[in-house]
Amino acid sequence: MKSILSILAILLTSVTLSAQMVTLSPANPSGDDEITITFDATQGNGELVGAAKVYLHSGVVLDAPDGTAWNNAIGNWGMDDGVGQMTKVAGATDKWEIKLTPTARQYYGVDASATIFRLAMVFRNADGTKKGTASPGTYDWGFVAGNQDIYVNLDAGFYVSILNPADDEVYLTSGEALKIEAEASAEVTAMALAIDEGQGFVEVASVSSGTSITYDYSPTQSATVSIKVSATISGQSVENQMTVNILLRQSTPVAALPAGAKKGINYVDGDATSAILVLEAPGKEFAYVVGDFNNWTPSDNYLMNKTADGELFWYELTGLTAGEEYVFQYWVDGTIKIGDPYADKVADPWNDQHIPAALYPDPTGYDKTDYQMATILQTGQEAYVWAETESTWSRPAKQDLVVYELLVRDFLGSHSYQDLSDTLGYLKRIGVNAIELMPIMEFEGNESWGYNPVYYFAPDKYYGTKNDLKHFIETAHQQGFAVILDMVLNHAYGQCPLVKLYWDETLNAPATNSPWFNQVPKHPFNVGYDFNHASTYTQDFMDSVNNYWINEYHFDGYRFDLSKGFTQNNTGDDVGAWGQYDPGRISILKRMNNEIKAVDASSYVILEHFADAQEETELGNAGMLLWRNVHGDFDSALKGNARGISGAASSIHVSYMESHDEERQMVGMLSGGLQAGNYDVKNTAVALERAKMGAAFLMLQKGPKMMWQFGELGYDVSINFNGRVGNKPLPWGSGNLGLYEDPLRQHLYDAYAAINHLRVTYPSVFNVGDVEASLGGKLKSIAIQHGQLDVVVIGNFGVEEGELTYEFPSTGAWFDYFGGDEFSVTSAAATQTLKPGEFYIYTNKRVSEGFPGVVEIYENPVTVSPSSFGLDDEITIIFDATKASKDGTAGLVGASKVFMNAGLVVNDPKGTDLSHKVEDGSGEMTKVEGQDNQWQITLTPRAYFGLSQEATAFRMGMHFRDEAGENIGKGFRNELVFLEIQSDVALVSFDPAEFFTNQEVSLIFDASLGDQGLLNATKIYAHSGAVLTPGDNPSFGSNVVGNWGADDGVGQMTKIDGTSKWELKYTPGMRDYYGLAASDSVYWISVVFRSADGSVKGSGPAGDFKGGFIAANGDIYLKVTPPQKEETLGVKKENLGKVRLFPNPTTGQFRMDGEVSTPYNLFLFDMSGRMLSSLLIQDSSKPIDLSYLREGQYLLQVVSADQTRSLRLVIVK
């Protein structure tokens, strides 16, 4: 029952939040009022929380009270031009308002005769990359559609609606009548219908009662007519008008398809003045070709022929000018306007204008947004001349692939194929041999990952021209790269002409008679509209698409997105059933693969599948490759856990630890890495070294491998930055992250290059060599034996030193691949002590002279006690000269005196600029007793650095020197050593600090402190549990509340206005929140603060803090201390029963006598307030034994169902 109530509470909370998202003032206004719209960005999806600007993109609904068709739209999507810009509400952080003035009707320019039923709106940020909306559904204030457009109802008063014709264009055959229908909102006393054929309105029908009127209008010729309906309702006159273009069409001519013509645009050899257009539209009645060549006016002269089987329409255009671009559409059955599904160029009236001219010159200027997307034909085009190298180069064997996945948009600031061609040298040096482009066929919008395709034969112009793309592929081939296209054939999006041709307006979904699409997706996680892959129409279309990009652009193969969705086996929302062995899906994919291989036998077919192992094996044996996601394994291992990584070894899988769909390994290490002593995976320098180890253990296992752009630079911006699919900052260039220019990142780049070079130079070694591997624990090894080369890879993924036992495949001379040193192996069995993060690649032949400085073992020469400290704490700093970098000097090993030069970072929690420096003799250290090369100094930071009492500091930076200053000791790679100073303000706390588990209390988290991982988060969740057992080493706890990675409201915190603090309120108390029994005692609350999807955590350095501690894995534990004073309980003394302890003083045993009901909790504290233990007392007649306590005074707190009080106990020995 509790689970049901919890779910209900979540649902109610969701509705409540969305209910206040949009408000209108005045309440219930009409279209003739001045209206103020207020938007609360903290409600609904919260995407615009913290936005610097918010725009209202809006319009009106004129056709019906429940209509969703936009009219008179105001706003330019993606433009920061002031049109529709809202103003922040005074005194509010995330509330915005805009005034529709002088009236809504005038603001939108709506004719006085039209009834405004609704306001249609979308809230967006300045560039249109984020929207503020809510989950689809009906709310008190209106409606949110499936596409998340928002509709707010207005008071329409009395009105009449013209129900038919529903569109302003009507197609009739000769003698056919147009039925005109109108309806009033209430009983009429008079209603009339009039038609104007150009000579003024003539009344053609009238009624004196009821709510409806009809008339059959029979035109004699094509014409534009106006319809007017007027009525009297309760003495009030209302009317409505519309203008209709009526086209009297002839019957569709039936004719055979011209010889050689295929679906799409057919250019006629030797005749640049004509083109044959062929549209597949089975079952449709008629179609017109409409475009620039006929001034966008349908007529019988452009009525398409239909083949006798009713499958195809075709039309031959003549009189065209060679080289001129013509924008056109097919207008089908009078209401459907689409471009050619097979066109290689699209005209987008919304987005083309935002493509820089330098990137795509000579835009068509097509701006017919009412008609939506169109396509372009151009006769007399010059064919691209491919270089001779296209016929001589050889692509890598599929098992040898080392793929680099990239998104053109986020790889280069110019998002240009031309610049990508110029950047191939960067990829060549990394050592990859294939480039996988995320989808580049025409997608909705400009800014996109590309998984929302609409026109499958047209390269999206946002990246450049089609010849730019061909030149890039040609250049890549010349440099030895295969180029793989990420193909999206699981689904299509709403602007796809195949979707629009067969559409159910009522269900807002593909119609049941669609040749290509399922009305309801057959599997979970579908986006867009699900292709029916069993349909021969779909299969023919897919074959045409796949053949086209190989033949026309010379792509070397495909990675098929969501290939597990290529099924008609309906599994609904059952993810488990979807992944089970599916013979139908196997058949579909094998058929597709065979068709591709018939075009190009060596082309790659790679599936994003993640299905049953037997199914994947069967597909692999058929010649396909499958993605294998080992992100989770490597993420855990690189953080320092004992996680197996053997899944990366497979000859039929492309294994990867990063992709566009996965969080960055660096983000995982920096937010959730473990710590032992002064080795902390959350330290960037440590994480970068471990990333090299991860690369070695991934890339040097069997089978094809893949890396995701900028992994080689340790890219550490979360996938959820700016929204999951939003633009990410570049690692290079002015004003960007500067990763490319960072020497530490360059070392990682060089390590990837060296590792990949070894793999691609000796592919058979890693694909067919005999392998002995131990990859399950923290200490891992791979040993490969092959006639060409023997290789051993060893590494310590833990955070503490460990001893690894492994075997060399052969004895004799061996070489350290990165270090360049030669050593002799006399026995195959080997034991080696490895520091945390230390790894090696050994080969039995010299294949490199080493890579100086690329790989180094991270060691921190400084330890501090206590490990967590504040400015006013006394600390002892110990410097180990044997672990220090020498910075080009002789170092400090054996020094007779050592001094610490140090300062404070006061301006930035992650800064490196030092102030308040102490570099004189006061920094002299003393030798640690019994240690020749360890030195220590004890100080209190505030006093030592002369920092004023009101000032604060974030970090302490230091290096070490000898007395003369000639020899130096520094941290890793000759950098300063920094120690984090804990703020006096708590990272996490309770408010109030003392409470009972049945009282309301708040958990407060300050995102500006600690590692600041969630500082810019728009949502924060507390994933927490209650620890019910005493002790100073708690585990995470039971009764955990939270669903990791789910943005479902469970554990969601609320931001405290004007601060960086977030609050989780336990209401009515912890007992209810965690579902505890009355007898449960809570000793600790364990908590992890996370982003909405769980990819980023907020924590701090491991160690104690006031009121709790942070574990090595970043989990936070807060001590639960009951209050010690009656006043804090709000319980009046006169309501307390009389209670006494006897004997008191006592040697240890005593009884409690008086008016206290059982059971009760007894909490024991020393006089400093530290809780020592707690007991549950079931029987008050039995003595309580505390004889184990030392002599002294103690406080007892008695908590029962009806009272709480504190008593003093004296123990004497």
- Supply the DSSP symbol for 395: P
Q: DSSP letters of 1036-1071?
A: S-EEEE--TT--SSTTB-EEPTTSSEEEEEESS-HH
* Residue listed under structure tokens 């979707």: 499
**Angle at which helices 613-621 and 583-599 pack, to 10 degrees?**
20
Which residues form the domain of 229? 160-248
Q: How confident is the model at residue 663 (pLDDT cuts 50, 70, 90)?
A: very high
Query: Where residue 4 falls among pLDDT bands split at 50, 70, 90?
Result: very low
Any idea which of 221-225, 232-236, 733-737, 838-842 has the lowest mean pLDDT? 733-737
Backbone angles phi, psi at 107, to 5 degrees: -60, -40
1005 lies in the same domain as 1148: no
Q: What is the CATH number of the domain that holds 514?
A: 3.20.20.80
Note the pLDDT of residue 386.
Answer: 98
Q: Which amino acid is at 1133?
A: K
- Same domain for 506 and 604: yes
pLDDT digits (tens, 9 = 90+) for 849-868: 999 999 999 999 999 999 88
Instruction: Note whether 739 and 732 are within 8 A (CB).
Output: yes
How many distinct structural domains can be found in the chain? 8
pLDDT class for 1138, splitting at 50, 70, 90?
low
* Residue 14 pLDDT grade (very low, low, confident, very high; cuts 50, 70, 90): very low
pLDDT at 636 over 80: yes
Q: Which position has the higher pLDDT, 690 or 1198?
A: 690
What are the φ/ψ torsions at residue 938 (nearest 5 degrees)?
A: -115, 135
Tell me which residue of 960, 990, 953, 979 sits closest to 872, measured CA to CA: 953
For the whole model, what pTM was predicted? 0.80
User: Given a cut of 80, is residue 3 above it in pLDDT?
Assistant: no
Going by pLDDT thresholds of 50, 70 and 90, the confidence category of residue 1171 is low
Rounded to the nearest 10°, the torsion over CA 800, 806, 810, 812 is 40
pLDDT confidence of 1080, banded at 50, 70, 90?
confident
Predicted confidence (pLDDT) per residue in 995-1034, tens digit? 777 788 999 999 988 888 898 888 999 999 999 888 888 8
Q: What pLDDT is recorded for position 853?
A: 95
1162 confidence band (pLDDT: 50, 70, 90): confident
User: CA 92 → CA 38, 49, 87, 89, 516, distances in Å?
Assistant: 11, 12, 11, 6, 50
Statement: residue 1130 has pLDDT above 60 = no
pLDDT at 450 over 50: yes
- The residues, ordered by sequence, that sit 6+ positions from 52 with a Cβ below 8 Å of its Cβ are 125, 126
Higher pLDDT, 1114 or 482: 482
pLDDT in tens, 622-634: 999 999 999 999 9
Domain assignment of residue 923, yes or no:
yes
- Whether residues 227 and 267 fall in one domain: no
Cα 42 from Cα 19, distance rounded (Å): 12
Q: Of the ranges 592-596, 885-889, 1104-1108, which one carries the lowest mean pLDDT score?
A: 1104-1108
850 within domain boundaries = no
Residue position matching structure tokens 């330890």: 863
Token pair, residue 438, equals: 């995320």
pLDDT band at 64 (very low <50, low <70, confident <90, very high): confident
The pLDDT value given to residue 1111:
84
Domain contains 849: no
User: Based on the number of CB atoms within 10 Å of its own CB, is 1035 exposed (0-12), middle (13-18) or buried (19 or more)?
Assistant: middle
The alpha carbon of 791 is separated from its chain's Cα centroid by a whole number of angstroms, namely 38
Average pLDDT over residues 401-415: 97
| pLDDT tops 70 at residue 19 | no
In which element (H, E) is residue 761 found? helix 743-761
Check whether residue 1080 and residue 1162 sit in a common domain: no
**140 with 164, same domain?**
no
What is the helix (H) or strand (E) element at residue 19, kind and residue range? helix 2-19
Structural domain contains residue 193: yes
Q: Is the pLDDT of residue 96 over 60?
A: yes
Lowest mean pLDDT among 590-604, 692-706, 1075-1089: 1075-1089
Residue 40 contacts residue 94 (beta carbons within 8 Å): yes
Evaluate whether residue 501 is within a structural domain. Answer: yes
pLDDT digit string (tens) for 244-261? 999 999 999 999 999 999
Pick from 980, 1002, 1023: which residue ends a domain? 980
CATH number for the domain including 1177?
A: 2.60.40.3080
Judgement on whether residues 554 and 643 belong to the same structural domain of the protein: no
φ, ψ of residue 1184 to 5 degrees: the values are -105, 130
pLDDT > 90 in the chain, percent: 74
Would 389 be classed as within a structural domain? no
Where helices occur in 581-710 by DSSP H, the ranges are: 583-599, 613-621, 631-639, 665-672, 684-699
970 with 1066, same domain? no
976 & 928 share domain: yes
Both tokens of 320, joined, read 């065209």
1158 vs 959, 1069, 1072, 1181, 1198, CA distance in Å?
62, 22, 21, 10, 11
pLDDT of residue 1169: 57
Does residue 385 sit within a domain? no
CATH of the domain at 263: 2.60.40.10
Instruction: Give the mean model confidence (pLDDT) for residues 562-585.
Output: 97
Q: Which of 627, 644, 677 is the last residue of a domain?
A: 627
Residue 832 CB contacts under 8 Å (≥ 6 apart), including other chains: 794, 803, 804, 806
For 25, the token pair is 């003032």
- The model's confidence at residue 747, banded by pLDDT at 50, 70 and 90, is very high
pLDDT of residue 1047: 84
* Residue 1128 pLDDT: 31
**Tokens standing for 112?**
């006085």
Do 457 and 505 form a contact (C-beta atoms < 8 A)? Answer: no
Nearest CA to 1061 out of 1101, 1023, 1004, 1117 is that of 1004
- pLDDT value of position 1007: 92
Return the exposure string of 876-906: e unless at least 16 CB atoms fall within 10 Å of the residue's CB, then b.
ebbbbbebbbebeeebbeebeebbbbbbbbb
Q: What pLDDT shows up at residue 1?
A: 28
User: Among 541-555, 1079-1093, 1096-1110, which stretch is predicted with the lowest mean pLDDT?
Assistant: 1096-1110
Average pLDDT in the 918-938 region? Answer: 96
Percent of the chain with pLDDT over 70: 96
Residue 335 has φ and ψ, to the nearest 5°, of -125, -15
Residue 1170 domain-assigned (yes or no) = yes
398-412, 748-762, 867-881, 1044-1058: least confident range = 1044-1058
pLDDT of residue 167: 87
Kindly state the average pLDDT of the residues 700-713: 98
Give the pLDDT band of residue 53 (cuts 50, 70, 90).
Answer: very high
Q: How confident is the model at residue 1058 (pLDDT cuts 50, 70, 90)?
A: confident
pLDDT of residue 15: 36
Q: What is the mean pLDDT of residues 409-434?
A: 97
| Beta-carbon contacts of residue 189 (< 8 Å; ≥ 6 apart) | 208, 209, 232, 233, 235
CATH classification of the domain holding 116: 2.60.40
Name the residue with higher pLDDT: 266 or 11. 266
What mean pLDDT comes out for the span 1126-1147? 54
Structural domain ending residue among the three candidates 1098, 1119, 1140 = 1119
Q: What is the mean pLDDT of the chain?
A: 91
On the question of pLDDT at 285 being above 70, the answer is yes
Q: What is the pLDDT of residue 902?
A: 98
Distance CA 711, CA 427 (A): 12
pLDDT of residue 30: 95
Tokens 């890219």 locate to 715
Task: Taking residues 722-745, report their average pLDDT.
Answer: 90
Q: Answer yes or no: do 570 and 713 share one domain.
A: no
Residue whose C-alpha is closest to residue 1077's, from 1039, 1022, 1033: 1039
Q: Is 1041's pLDDT higher than 80?
A: yes
Do residue 1114 and residue 1130 come from a single domain?
A: no
Measure the CA–CA gap between 423 and 290, rounded to whole angstroms: 42
Whether residue 501 has pLDDT greater than 90:
yes
- Residue 666's CATH number: 2.60.40.1180
* 1048 and 1135 share one domain: no
Segment 653-663 shows an average pLDDT of: 97
Same domain, 742 and 788: yes
| CA-based radius of gyration for the chain | 36
Q: How much is the average pLDDT of 162-178? A: 93
Q: Average of pLDDT values for 872-901?
A: 97
Instruction: Identify the residue whose tokens are 């490319």.
Output: 740
Burial 785-807 (b: 16+ CB within 10 A, else e): bbeebbbbbbbbbbbeebebebe
